[in-house]
Structure 1
Amino acid sequence: MKSGSNAAIDKVISRFFGVFDNRAGRVPEAQAFGMLFASNATIATHSGRGVQITTPDEFVRPRIELLTSGRLVEFHEWETQSENEILGSLAVRRSRYEKSGRLDGQPYAGVGTKFFQLAQIDEAWRIVSLAWIDDAAFGSRQT
């Protein structure tokens, strides 16, 4: 493992969660999100409709719209636990996270798990795939 890899990966993941923060007048930007990913990256999201696989741009566009529309306010996500496994220029990170805000005037919150696969490309860690599920999608808390 290269020295500093954990810290560098922590920074990428922190930036990922930071994109979805509209507290105190922050304005989320799709460009900041896209810069975290390698070309041809994919995102798999599990919901009540099953698994949807999208590009980072397809994934972030409707979320940025929701975060800037005034419907979802004072929203943010944050990591509560994480574990990295790094092998050379490849890494896997398991993240537990929470989210909180107000959707259409009502409290909105949740918890879940995200699995990041990362690669060190041109000396920078980039997300090559992301799979995620909210605990509510399957009715129980995972640890």
Structure 2
Amino acid sequence: MRADEGGMAGSDEAEIEDVVRAFFAAFTSGPDTAARLDTLRDLFLPGAVIVSTGGREPSLMDVDAFIAPREALLSGGTLVGFREWAVGGRTDVFGDVAHWFGSYAKEWEQDGQSFGGRGMKSLQLVRTPQGWRISAAAWDDER
């Protein structure tokens, strides 16, 4: 974790780490998928923008459009053992805005075959009265 010239309070660092951890933990198949995705929904500001690139025209989504297909995949039974996690990242904070940029990995089984992938995610966060919330997210998977 890195801070701006004014420094980052330990509580800010811990709360941002918790948000990032909860963000990635939501993408896990199995029991409690709906609860994890509800937690994910709560991590975003209303009106947050999510962008996927992947070497094609960027796909822009609101929070519900982002979560709905993931909920179907994670709870539909076609993916087994899906999980996604942060591999490493960097956080910058200035006042009430923060940015986490880092690498992530994912793995799963489908139709008896194992799959995996990696990529980079960017999470923009803002401090609210309820704590740090994600105002925007963007990612690109390795090709």
Specify the TM-score bucket, using the shorter chain as the normaliser. Answer: 0.7 to 0.9
1:43 aligned to 2:50?
Answer: yes
Aligned residues of 2:105 and 2:118 also touching (Cα < 8 A): yes
Q: What are the equivalent positions in structure 2 for 1:93-112 lying under 5 Å apart? A: 93-112=100-119
In structure 1, distance between residues paired with 2:72 and 2:116 = 19
In structure 2, distance between residues paired with 1:8 and 1:101 = 28
Q: CA RMSD in A?
A: 1.3
| Structure 1 residues not aligned, in runs of 5+ | 137-143
Using the size of structure 1 for normalisation, the TM-score is 0.88
In structure 1, distance between residues paired with 2:111 and 2:69 = 16
Aligned residues of 2:54 and 2:142 also touching (Cα < 8 A): no
Using the size of structure 2 for normalisation, the TM-score is 0.88
Q: What are the equivalent positions in structure 2 for 1:1-143 lying under 5 Å apart? A: 1-22=8-29, 25-29=30-34, 30-47=37-54, 49-136=56-143
Moved over 4 A (4+): none
2:87 alignment partner AA = T
In structure 2, distance between residues paired with 1:104 and 1:75 = 13
Helix, strand or coil at the partner of 2:64: helix
When the two structures are aligned, how many residues end up with a matched partner?
Answer: 134
| Structure 2 residues not aligned, in runs of 5+ | 1-7
2:89 alignment partner AA = S
In structure 1, distance between residues paired with 2:32 and 2:10 = 34
In structure 2, distance between residues paired with 1:50 and 1:108 = 24
Q: Which moved more, 1:28-37 or 1:70-79?
A: 28-37
